[in-house]
C-alpha cells in the first residue's frame, strides 16, 4: 500500500442492501471555482458484496460513448443476477463535461494526469482525490472508459499496464477478456487513473472507443459488450448474452505518432483503419494563403489507428497515430 488513505467519508457501501440498485452522489468539497459540483453514480449490490468493479466514464469531458453506455447499463443490469458490487460513474468530471472539453475549464487540468489527487491541490487534484478516496479504493478492478477526443477518430483498442506485478497481470487478463482486436500495453504517465490504481493492487484497463464527441450505435454496442464480458470474466454474473462468443486472438500493438509542426489547415488523405506503408503521404498542412507547410508521412508501416478530423491545427497537435503489431496475445 501507498501512504495511508482516508477512505470514504461521504457514503457507506455497508449500509446498502444485498440485491439493490442505488442512485447516489458525492459532492466535491473545497475550492472548485464554481458552484458546488455533484457527481451522480450508481451502486448495484448483487447477491454478495465481493468482488467490486468500478466503471467510470467522462474523465475527459469530450468523450461520450462510455457516458451513454453507463447511463443505460445502470438501469438495465439486474442486481439479482450479479455476484459482487458494481459501481458505475457516467460522468466523473462534470465541469469538463459541461464545457465539452477534455480538461477541467476551471484550472485547465487534465483529470487523467491528476490521480490519486491531493485534498489541498488544484480543483482537478481535489476532484481526483475525492474520486479516488470515495470510489476507487476497495475495488478489485477498474474499467476507465475513454474516447480519445472530439478532434479525432480512432480504431477501438484497450490499454493495459505493462508489467509483471499481480495487478498488471490481472489487468492484462481483463483486457484480453473484453474481446477486442487491439490490445495496447502502456507505461502510463504519472497521474493516469490506472497508474495510480495499480500501486494499490487494483487492476485497471482503459479502452478507447468513439472519438469526435459522438454517441453512436456502434460505440454503444462495443462498450456494452465490454462490460458484459468483464463481468463474466470476473465471475460476477452468469448472464448469457449475445456477446458470449469466444474471444478471437487479439493483437498486441505499439504506436507511433505524427505531430503538426505548423499552424494551419490539415488536409487529410488517409482513412481511419487503413493500412499504410512507411513514408506514405497521409496529409498536408497548408498555411492560411494555401502554401504547403508540412507533408505528413507515415513514420512506419502499420494501421491508421487515430486520425485527427478537426482541420485547424496548431504546432504539437497529434495528426495521426499509426498502430503496429508487436505480436500475438499469449
Which residues are at the interface with Zn ion (CB under 5 A)? 60, 63, 146
CA distance 130 to 38: 11
Nearest to 224 by CA among 156, 309, 312, 293: 156
Q: For the sheet containing 281-286, what is the strand order?
A: 292-297, 281-286, 264-268, 312-313
Where is 281: in which H helix or E strand? strand 281-286
Smaller CB distance to Zn ion: residue 84 or 151? 151
Smaller CB distance to Zn ion: residue 112 or 237? 112
Least spacing, CB of residue 188 vs Zn ion, in Å: 12
Least spacing, CB of residue 144 vs Zn ion, in Å: 8
- Mark residue 61 as left, alpha or beta (left: phi above 0; alpha: psi -120 to 50; beta: remaining): alpha
Least spacing, CB of residue 206 vs Zn ion, in Å: 8
Least spacing, CB of residue 146 vs Zn ion, in Å: 3
Q: What separation in angstroms does the CA of 248 have from each of 88, 315, 328, 330? A: 27, 39, 11, 12
Q: Is the Cβ–Cβ distance between 270 and 322 less than 8 Å?
A: no
Smaller CB distance to Zn ion: residue 144 or 294? 144
CA distance 92 to 142: 13
Least spacing, CB of residue 110 vs Zn ion, in Å: 9
Smaller CB distance to Zn ion: residue 193 or 260? 193
- What is the SS3 assignment for 239? coil
The residues, any chain, with a CB within 8 Å of residue 179's CB and separated by 6 or more, are: 225, 226, 229, 243, 245, 247, 248
Least spacing, CB of residue 83 vs Zn ion, in Å: 30
Smaller CB distance to Zn ion: residue 66 or 117? 66
Least spacing, CB of residue 289 vs Zn ion, in Å: 35
Smaller CB distance to Zn ion: residue 192 or 303? 192
Q: Is the Cβ–Cβ distance between 305 and 322 less than 8 Å?
A: yes
Smaller CB distance to Zn ion: residue 84 or 211? 211
CA distance 52 to 48: 10
Q: Is the Cβ–Cβ distance between 161 and 201 less than 8 Å?
A: no
Q: Is the Cβ–Cβ distance between 65 and 49 less than 8 Å?
A: no
Least spacing, CB of residue 56 vs Zn ion, in Å: 11
Distance of CA 251 to the CA centre of its chain: 19
Smaller CB distance to Zn ion: residue 69 or 296? 69
Amino acid at each position: 500500500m501507498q501512504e495511508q488513505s482516508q477512505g470514504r467519508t461521504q457514503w457507506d457501501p455497508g449500509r446498502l442492501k444485498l440485491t439493490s440498485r442505488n442512485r447516489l452522489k458525492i459532492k466535491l468539497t473545497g475550492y472548485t471555482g464554481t458552484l458546488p459540483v455533484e457527481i451522480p453514480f450508481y451502486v448495484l449490490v448483487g447477491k454478495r458484496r465481493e468482488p467490486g468493479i468500478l466503471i467510470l466514464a467522462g474523465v475527459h469531458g469530450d468523450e461520450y460513448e462510455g457516458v451513454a453506455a453507463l447511463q443505460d447499463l445502470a438501469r438495465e443490469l439486474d442486481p439479482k443476477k450479479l455476484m459482487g458490487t458494481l459501481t458505475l460513474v457516467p460522468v466523473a468530471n462534470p465541469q469538463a463535461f459541461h464545457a465539452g472539453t477534455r480538461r477541467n475549464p476551471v484550472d485547465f487540468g487534465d483529470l487523467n494526469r491528476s490521480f490519486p489527487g491531493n485534498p489541498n491541490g488544484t480543483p482537478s487534484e481535489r476532484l481526483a482525490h475525492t474520486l479516488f478516496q470515495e470510489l476507487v479504493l476497495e475495488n478489485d478492478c477498474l474499467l476507465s472508459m475513454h474516447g480519445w477526443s472530439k478532434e479525432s477518430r480512432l480504431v477501438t483498442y484497450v490499454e493495459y499496464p505493462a508489467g509483471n506485478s499481480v495487478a498488471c497481470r490481472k489487468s492484462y487478463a481483463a483486457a484480453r477478456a473484453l474481446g477486442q482486436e487491439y490490445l495496447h500495453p502502456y507505461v502510463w504517465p504519472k497521474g493516469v487513473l490506472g497508474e495510480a490504481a495499480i500501486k494499490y493492487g487494483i487492476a485497471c484497463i482503459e479502452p478507447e472507443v468513439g472519438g469526435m464527441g459522438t454517441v453512436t450505435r456502434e460505440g454503444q454496442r462495443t462498450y456494452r459488450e465490454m462490460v458484459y464480458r468483464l463481468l463474466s470474466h470476473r465471475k460476477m454474473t452468469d448472464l448469457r448474452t449475445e456477446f458470449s462468443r469466444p474471444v478471437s486472438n487479439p493483437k498486441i500493438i505499439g504506436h507511433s505518432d505524427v505531430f503538426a509542426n505548423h499552424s494551419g489547415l490539415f488536409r487529410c488523405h488517409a482513412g481511419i483503419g487503413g493500412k499504410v506503408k512507411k513514408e506514405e503521404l497521409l496529409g498536408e498542412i497548408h498555411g492560411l494563403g494555401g502554401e504547403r507547410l508540412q507533408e505528413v508521412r507515415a513514420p512506419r508501416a502499420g494501421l491508421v489507428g487515430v486520425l485527427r478530423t478537426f482541420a485547424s491545427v496548431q504546432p504539437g497537435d497529434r495528426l495521426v497515430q499509426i498502430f503496429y503489431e508487436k505480436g500475438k496475445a499469449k
